[in-house]
């Protein structure tokens, strides 16, 4: 896996084409400090993309809850013992079939936190909503969480 965080910094429109997922420039891209105070901004901005999709309100809320959980986990992973906050990158895009979000953080990654009991519950909540959940490690450390939500086959909003 290329170090997507560094690539995202150099190429603002970058998002990887990954196994048939949505590719091209993201429709939403946030680069924020990985601090808890960023969570309200993240929730507000990602809601604009989610609410623009043909999903029933209940499904939209479930997707937003999964994204909020993933963002909070990424911030928790990134904070660790760092004195200065690291960066959190969130990219989102949709086509007629799916909505895909990727969250990249510079922290210690996922492996050191699995033993603390917090990650499996979070992953279960995200996995219950996402149609596909991919976890990866960035080359420079940190982690990448990619969630794909199917737009077809769910009742349309209305």
d(CA 10, CA 4): 10
Residue among 32, 44, 39, 43 nearest 8 (CA) = 32
d(CA 77, CA 87): 11
Which is more confidently placed, 126 or 83? 126
Q: Write out pLDDT tens, residues 37-83.
A: 999 999 999 999 999 999 999 999 999 999 999 999 888 888 766 67
Distance of CA 39 to the CA centre of its chain: 12
Domain ranges across the chain: 35-150
Residue 4 has pLDDT above 60, yes or no: no
d(CA 29, CA 71): 14
CB atoms under 10 Å from CB of 138, counted, come to 20
In DSSP terms, 100 is beta-bridged to: 93, 148
CATH number of 35-150: 3.30.565.10
Q: 95-109, 124-138, 142-156: lowest mean pLDDT where?
A: 142-156
d(CA 101, CA 129): 13
């Amino acid at each position: 896996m290329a170090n997507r965080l560094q690539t995202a910094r150099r190429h603002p429109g970058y998002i990887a084409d990954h196994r048939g997922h949505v590719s091209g420039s993201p429709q939403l891209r946030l680069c924020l400090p990985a601090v808890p105070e960023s969570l309200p901004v993240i929730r507000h901005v990602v809601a604009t993309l989610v609410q623009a999709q043909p999903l029933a309100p209940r499904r939209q809320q479930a997707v937003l809850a999964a994204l909020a959980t993933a963002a909070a986990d990424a911030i928790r992973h990134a904070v660790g013992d760092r004195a200065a906050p690291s960066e959190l990158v969130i990219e989102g895009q949709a086509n007629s079939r799916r909505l895909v979000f990727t969250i990249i953080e510079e922290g210690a990654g996922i492996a050191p936190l699995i033993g603390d009991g917090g990650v499996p519950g979070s992953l279960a909540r995200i996995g219950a909503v996402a149609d596909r959940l991919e976890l990866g490690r960035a080359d420079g450390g940190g982690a990448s969480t990619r969630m794909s939500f199917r737009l077809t086959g769910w009742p349309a909003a209305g």
